[in-house]
């Protein structure tokens, strides 16, 4: 072959090789189940998932706790030993446990309240004060608290490894009557960790609600009622089942202090930072729904939702707890139907006005479909998968 032809052939060879390589790259980059589209998919920009924009007005509104001032006054009164000032409707509290009794009506010769009737109770009262003061000191907003909830697993699990701080699957079982005839008992019991609410009974309802209980999540009113029983018995699911509760009333810390000594399983109180976060989230959803449905200004929201008495439900906080300690969360028995009872195990017909269940249902839908829309939670927290069973 002549030397003058070799350079031309070399150039042609390189050009052909380059063209072949580019063609293969186009095919591989556009490959799909239908054989590919020659790379044209790379020309069309990929649609990115938009992060919902939070309403700044609603955020500021939800951040205001209407009960903050009255709560502070209650804490100060209790720390000072003034229980008489709390005798007002549902705040009235008598504590009985064996020989320990608080008598809020007792008076000394000088007219000074005598609240502590025994040396033993005086010791318990000092412990009560310490718990109450610590709780109030931490009662503040902290968006990162969701990531701290895994520390609860260290208390509930034995011999837990740092690499295994979350339960694989969790079921949060609500008390709605929609569970009746659901035949979901086996599905609920198949979860590694099962959370039940406010000591709702399972006996006789196992086929629909299951029988397994890993944690009993209650409001402190439940423990207050249990404190009247011998040894503060509060174990419908067995004495080995841990109990976690949020404080509805500050006087219930007395019940906690007394009952904590008689419970074999852990008796836990929710982190007050977690309480504040839940309160803000629910108020945000409630205010948002109120404005959309009524068209009224935010200032009128309190008048329609019991003002300072407005509160999240036990179920809502139990779901939020599960998000922090579980890799997958299944929600059962949340919702209502005209054909179903309010509670599967009671004859209660009406909802409590201090809760906004419809707003909470909006939250659950967001948790399942677009968790990035949930406000006040730190961006560093990774939401687990949530499934709602109807």
C-alpha span between 282 and 40 (Å, rounded) = 46
Are 116 and 102 spatial neighbours (Cβ–Cβ below 8 Å)?
yes
Model confidence over 161-201: pLDDT tens digits? Answer: 777 889 999 999 998 898 998 999 999 999 999 999 999 99
Top mean pLDDT of 121-135, 155-169, 291-305 is at: 291-305
Are 348 and 190 spatial neighbours (Cβ–Cβ below 8 Å)?
no
User: Which domains does the chain show, CATH number per domain?
Assistant: 17-48 (no CATH), 60-389 (3.90.1480)
C-alpha span between 98 and 103 (Å, rounded) = 14
Find, among 79, 74, 105, 103, the residue nearest to 91 by Cα: 74
Model confidence over 321-378: pLDDT tens digits? Answer: 999 999 999 999 998 776 667 777 677 766 666 789 999 999 999 999 999 999 999 9
| Residue 15 or 85, more confident | 85
The yes-or-no verdict on residue 8 having pLDDT over 70 is no
Q: How confident is the model at residue 100 (pLDDT cuts 50, 70, 90)?
A: very low
Model confidence over 51-91: pLDDT tens digits? Answer: 567 899 999 999 999 999 999 999 998 888 776 665 443 44
Model confidence over 248-296: pLDDT tens digits? Answer: 999 899 889 888 887 888 999 999 999 999 999 999 999 999 999 999 9
3-class DSSP state of 55: coil
pLDDT, averaged across the chain: 81
C-alpha span between 245 and 79 (Å, rounded) = 21
């Amino acid at each position: 072959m002549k030397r003058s032809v070799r350079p031309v052939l070399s150039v042609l060879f390189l050009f052909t090789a380059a063209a072949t390589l580019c063609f293969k790259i186009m095919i591989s980059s556009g490959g799909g189940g239908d054989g590919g589209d020659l790379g044209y998919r790379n020309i069309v920009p990929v649609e990115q998932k938009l992060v919902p924009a939070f309403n700044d007005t609603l955020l500021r509104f939800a951040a205001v706790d209407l009960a903050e001032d009255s709560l502070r006054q209650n804490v100060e009164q209790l720390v000072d030993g003034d229980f008489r000032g709390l005798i007002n409707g549902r705040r009235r509290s008598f504590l009985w446990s064996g020989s320990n009794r608080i008598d809020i009506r007792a008076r000394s010769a000088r007219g000074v309240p005598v609240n502590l009737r025994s040396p033993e109770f005086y010791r318990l009262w000092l412990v009560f004060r310490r718990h109450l003061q610590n709780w109030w000191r931490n009662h503040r907003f902290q968006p990162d608290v969701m990531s701290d909830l895994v520390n609860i697993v260290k208390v509930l699990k034995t011999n837990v490894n740092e690499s295994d701080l979350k339960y694989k699957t969790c079921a949060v079982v609500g008390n709605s009557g929609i569970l009746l005839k659901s035949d979901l008992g086996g599905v609920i019991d198949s979860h590694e960790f099962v959370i039940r609410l406010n000591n709702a009974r399972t006996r006789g309802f196992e086929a629909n609600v299951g029988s397994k209980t890993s944690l009993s999540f209650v409001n402190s009113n439940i423990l207050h009622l249990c404190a009247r029983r011998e040894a503060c018995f509060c174990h419908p699911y067995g004495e080995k089942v841990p109990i976690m509760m949020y404080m509805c009333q500050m006087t219930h810390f007395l019940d906690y202090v007394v009952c904590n000594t008689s419970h074999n399983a852990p008796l836990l109180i929710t982190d007050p930072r977690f309480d504040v976060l839940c309160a803000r989230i629910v108020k945000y959803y409630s205010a948002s729904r109120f404005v959309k449905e009524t068209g009224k200004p935010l200032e009128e929201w309190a008048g329609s939702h019991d003002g300072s008495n407005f509160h999240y439900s036990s179920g809502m906080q139990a779901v939020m707890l599960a998000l922090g300690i579980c890799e997958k969360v299944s929600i059962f028995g949340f919702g209502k139907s005209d054909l179903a009872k309010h509670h599967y195990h009671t004859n209660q017909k009406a909802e409590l006005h201090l809760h906004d269940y419809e707003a909470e249902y909006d939250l659950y839908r967001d948790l399942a479909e677009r968790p990035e829309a949930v406000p006040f939670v730190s961006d560093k927290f990774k939401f687990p998968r949530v499934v709602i069973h109807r």
